[in-house]
Chains A and B, each alone.
Chain A
Amino acid sequence: AQSVTQLGSHVSVSEGALVLLRCNYSSSVPPYLFWYVQYPNQGLQLLLKYTTGATLVKGINGFEAEFKKSETSFHLTKPSAHMSDAAEYFCAVVSSGYALNFGKGTSLLVTP
């Protein structure tokens, strides 16, 4: 079964600093990978996705992620954190029936 592991349940960065949220996947087939963001008491919003093609994927709000098959990773980055980036971030991989298997999430705190 396809699965993802997010390293670090909480990440804290200063405003303007690099954001790096880690996600490793396990899959017996070429994976389709996603990053979602969730603000408190809201649903999930898609940040970006990797299906096939270019391994560096750009998403909304200045985020990007790079698919690295050799490292089984799909880490999320943003060059300069903004206060509005504070949220919960979820990595996910497509599983059976097109459902998604989610990681446990990483809470991003941005300090002034």
Chain B
Amino acid sequence: DGGITQSPKYLFRKEGQNVTLSCEQNLNHDAMYWYRQDPGQGLRLIYYSQIVNDFQKGDIAEGYSVSREKKESFPLTVTSAQKNPTAFYLCASSSQTGSRYEQYFGPGTRLTVT
């Protein structure tokens, strides 16, 4: 089955700790994205990557970092500099050809920082 996996589904951390969220896809998509979802706010773009070893900041990149060393993987690190890290995080991917605007989403990771 092709798709996007995010792990873990639930993550708990203490304030001041960095935490890395995993995102893997086997759809052979070039582009990958990270969104943050808060109640009543919709989804907001954190980072995106259109090709391996390259990525761009989205609307709310402060306090986050990413890497794209492999086509299949796009991990997101929530650093201690992120003021309000508790949220639902969604990873997505899309093809750069064909239906290139259509994004496929993973099941999400709910991060709780106390």
Contact = CB atoms under 8 A, between A and B. Distances in A.
Q: How large is the interface on A (under 10, 10 to 19, 20 to 34, 35 or more residues)?
A: 20 to 34
B94 A98 contact: yes
B74 interface: no
Interface of A is mostly: mixed
Contacts of B88: 41
A19 B113 CA distance: 38
A87 interface: no
Contacts of A36: 105
A56 interface: no
A96 to B, nearest CB: 8
Contact of B42 (A32, A34, A90, A94): A90
Contacts, number: 63
Nearest to A46: B102
Interface stretch (A61-69, A76-84, A102-110): A102-110
A32 B108 contact: no
B11 interface: no
Contacts of A18: none
Contacts of B105: 36, 43-45
A42 B42 contact: no
Interface string B89-112: 010101010001111111110100
B101 A32 contact: yes
A102 B108 contact: no
Interface in B50-107: 50, 56, 58, 88, 90, 92, 94, 96, 100-107
